[in-house]
Amino acid sequence: MAEASISVAPDQFCCPVCLDLLKEPVALPCGHTYCMICITDCWNQDDAKGVYSCPQCRQAFTPRPVLSKNTILAEMVEKLGKTTLQPAADPAGPGDVECSVCTGRKRKAVKSCLMCMNSYCQVHLEQHENFFKDKKHHLMEATVRLQQMICKTHDRPLEVFCQTDQECICMMCMLDKHKKHKTRTAAAERTEKQRQLDKIRKKYNEEIQQSEQKLQELRKAVDSHKRSAQAAVDYSERIFTELIHSIERRRSEVTQLIRAQEKAAVSQAENLLKRLESSIDLLKRTDTKLEQLSHTDDHIHFLQNFGPPILPCLNVLGITVSSQLSFDNIGKSVSLLRGRLEDFCKEEMEQISAGASCQLSLDPNTANPHLHLSQRDTVATYTDKGQLCSAHPDRFKVSSQVLCRESVCGRAYWEVEWSGNCWVGISVSYKSIDRNGVEGEFGFNDQSWTLRKTSLDLIFTHNSAHSKIMAPLQSSRIGVYVDISTGTLSFYSVSDTMTLLKRVKTTFTQPLYPGFTVLRGSSVKLCDLTT
C-alpha cells in the first residue's frame, strides 16, 4: 500500500524564537511548540518573577511547566531537515551586524526586531515575517544597539520622549512614572531635534568655512614668510660668500706683497753676501802671501816682492746689517682693517637684531613658588622659602622655572643677563609642556630647548640629549635668536662682540615661549633692548 503524502511547508516546523528548524521540540500547555533550549533560556530569565509565559500568545503559567520532548514531531523535523536545502550563506563581515538566529557561521543581518530583540538575515527575516504576519512587530535597520532601545523597567520598546525629564521612555512609563509629564512621540521629537541639529550644523559649517578661509590666509602668510626668509638667507649667504672671497683675495694680495718685499730684501742680501765672501777670500790669499814673504831671510827677494797692499773695492763699513725686515706698516693696516670690519659687522648685527628684537615679560602664573619676580616681571630670583601663590594650572609645581607671557613668532631676538654662583637655564618651550612633574624640566623633553650655565660648564640640552659648548663665554649676557619659519635657534655670548655659542636647525610645530630655570643663589634678568 502506498504511503500517504502530505505537503507541508518547512516554516511550519520552525521555532518562533530561533526561527530555525525545531531541535528537541516541546509543546507548551497553550499548544505552541519551541526548541527545548530556546524556551528553557526564555523561562530562565523569568525565574525571578515566578511567572512563565508563552513568547507568542503571552499566556502565563504558574508554576513552571515540566517540558517533555515530542518524539513524533522530532522525527518529522529530522526527515524534513534532510530533504530541505540550506540557503546560500551571506556571511557577516567586519562591522556588519550578525544574524542572531544563524548557527555556526553567522550571516549578515538586514533587519532588527524590537519585539523579539533579535537581528535577522534575509532568510530568517522571511521566516519571522511568516510567523508574525498577523502581528505588528516593529522592524528597523539592523543595529547592535537593541538593548539601548528597550525600557529597562518594563522591557518594552522606547517609543516616547518625555520633554519634562528629557529622556526616552516606553508606553508603560508614560502611563506610570511620567503620567503628568509633557510627552510626544520619539519620531516627533526627532523631527524637532533634527531642525535644531540642522541649525547647529549650519552654524558650524559657516564657522568651518570662515576658519578654513583664515587657515588658507595663514598658510599663504606662512609660505610668504618662509619664502621671504629663505630669500633673505640666500641673499645674505651669497653676500657673505662674496665678502669671504673678497677678503681671501685681499689676503692673497697682501701675502704676495709681503713675499715680494721678502724676495727683494733676500736677493739684495744674498748679492752682498757673495761679494763679501769674494772679498774675504781675496784678503785671506793676500795675507797668506804676505805671511810667507815675512818669513824669508833673502832681503833682496823681500824687497823685490813687497808692494802696496791690494784691498777689495767693497766698503765693508758701509754695509748695514739688520736681522729683521720691517712689515709694521702692513701689520698696522691689516689690524686697522680688522677693526673696521668688526665695527661694521657689529653695527649691522645690532640693526638686524633691533629689527627682530622683542620686549618680553615673565608670567607670574607660571612661576614656581621659589621664584620671586621683580622689576615689572623682568627679573626672576630664587628664594629658599617658597612663596604663597594662587593655584593655577600653568604654574610649574616641581621645577624652579618660569615662562614669558609673550610667545615669539617669525624672527625674534632677546637678551638675558644672569648673576650668581649657581647655574641657570635659558630656554624656549612650547606652552603645552608638563607643569606638574620633572617631565616638564626644560631640555628633558621634546617640547623645549635649553642652554644651561653651570658653575663649570656650558651645556645645550634637548629631549635629554646633552652637548657641551666649547666656545668661550665672554660675559654673563646671552642673546637668543629664533627664526620660526626656518627652524633656527641660536645662542650668542654678548659683550663688545657677539660670539655664537650654539645653533640648532629643527622644525617648530607650535608657538615658542622664552623660559628660564633659576636655582639657589642665582637670578636672571630680561634686558631692555630699546635703550
Given a cut of 70, is residue 414 above it in pLDDT? yes
Under 8 Å between Cβ of 492 and 500: yes
User: Which pLDDT score is estimated for 289?
Assistant: 85
Average pLDDT over residues 434-462: 92
In this predicted structure, which of 176-180, 199-203, 377-381 has the lowest mean pLDDT? 176-180
Pull the grid cell for residue 478.
646671552
Q: Would you say residue 10 has pLDDT above 90?
A: no
Q: Mean pLDDT across the stretch 161-188?
A: 91
Q: Name the residue among 147, 189, 149 with its Cα closest to residue 170.
A: 149
pLDDT at 326: 59
Q: CA-to-CA distance for 244 and 18, rounded, in angstroms?
A: 90
Say which residue, 448 or 64, is predicted with more confidence: 448
Calculate mean pLDDT across residues 423-445: 93
pLDDT of 143 above 90: no
The beta-strand segments (E) located in 252-327 are none
What is the predicted pLDDT for the residue at 317?
56
Least confident of 38-52, 317-331, 399-413: 317-331
What pLDDT sits at residue 334?
72
pLDDT of residue 435: 93
Structural contact between residues 437 and 398, judged by C-beta atoms closer than 8 angstroms: yes
pTM, two decimals, is 0.41
| Rounded (5°) CA angle 448-450-456 | 155
Mean pLDDT of 498-522: 92
Is 218 in a helix, a strand, or coil?
helix
Beta bridge partners of 416: 478, 526
pLDDT on residue 311: 59
Residue 169 or residue 157, greater confidence = 169
Is residue 3 predicted with pLDDT exceeding 50? Answer: no
For the chain, the structural domain boundaries read 8-84, 226-318, 327-355, 371-526
Q: How confident is the model at residue 428 (pLDDT cuts 50, 70, 90)?
A: very high
Structure-block grid coordinates of residue 413: 631676538
Q: Are 199 and 182 in contact (CB under 8 A)?
A: no
- Look at residue 5 in the predicted model and tell me its pLDDT: 46
CA distance 485 to 511: 11
- 243: CB partners within 8 A, 6+ apart: none
Band of pLDDT at residue 2, cut at 50, 70 and 90: very low
Average pLDDT over residues 119-132: 81
Q: Can you give the pLDDT at residue 460? A: 96
State yes or no: pLDDT of 222 exceeds 90.
no
What's the DSSP call for residue 209? H
Position with higher pLDDT, 41 vs 132: 41
For the residues 275-288, what does the mean pLDDT come to?
85
Find the mean pLDDT for residues 372-393. 90
Rounded to 5 degrees, φ, ψ at 435 are -110, -10
Across 15-26, average pLDDT? 83
Residue, of 386 and 24, whose pLDDT is higher: 24
Distance CA(184)–CA(161), nearest Å, equals 6
Share of the chain above pLDDT 90, in %: 31
Q: What is the pLDDT of residues 355-369, one digit of tens each?
A: 577 889 999 999 999
What are the pLDDT digits (tens) for 319-344? 565 555 556 676 777 777 777 777 66
pLDDT at 49: 80
Q: Does domain 8-84 have CATH number 3.30.40.10?
A: yes
Q: Is the pLDDT of residue 350 over 70?
A: no
How many Cβ atoms from other residues are within 10 Å of residue 22's Cβ? Answer: 25
| 391/315: higher pLDDT | 391
Query: What pLDDT score was predicted for residue 85?
Result: 43
Mean pLDDT of all residues in 199-221: 91
Report pLDDT for 325: 55
Q: Using CB atoms within 10 Å of the CB of residue 123, give its burial: 0 to 12 exposed, 13 to 18 middle, 19+ buried.
A: buried
C-alpha to C-alpha distances, 58 to 32, 172, 409, 484, 520, nearest whole angstrom: 11, 17, 74, 75, 82
Phi, psi for 183 (deg, rounded to 5): -130, 165
For residue 169, what are the β-bridge partners?
160
Which grid cell is 480?
637668543
d(CA 158, CA 3): 53
pLDDT at 161 over 80: yes
Which band of pLDDT confidence, cut at 50, 70 and 90, is reported for residue 68? confident
CB 101 within 8 A of CB 20: yes
b vs e for 326-363, b when ≥16 Cβ sit within 10 Å of the residue's Cβ?
A: eeeeeeeeeeeeeeeeeeeeeeeeeeebeebbbebebb
Gyration radius of the chain over CA positions = 51
Mean pLDDT of the 391-412 span: 91
Q: Are 508 and 408 in contact (CB under 8 A)?
A: no
Q: pLDDT grade, residue 195 (50/70/90)?
A: very high
pLDDT confidence tier of residue 69, bands split at 50, 70 and 90: confident
Q: What value does the mean pLDDT of the chain take?
A: 83
How many other β-carbons are positioned within 10 Å of the β-carbon of residue 113?
Answer: 20
Quick one: pLDDT at residue 425?
95
For residues 317 and 281, give the distance between their C-alpha atoms in angstroms, rounded to a whole number.
17
Superfamily of domain 371-526: SPRY domain (2.60.120.920)
List strands edge to edge, sheet with 371-374. 371-374, 379-382, 522-526, 411-420, 477-483, 488-494, 498-505
pLDDT at 1 over 70: no
Average of per-residue pLDDT across 34-47? 87
C-alpha cell at 110: 538586514
Residue 4: pLDDT band with limits 50, 70, 90 = very low
- Which of 162-166, 410-414, 431-435 comes out lowest in average pLDDT? 410-414
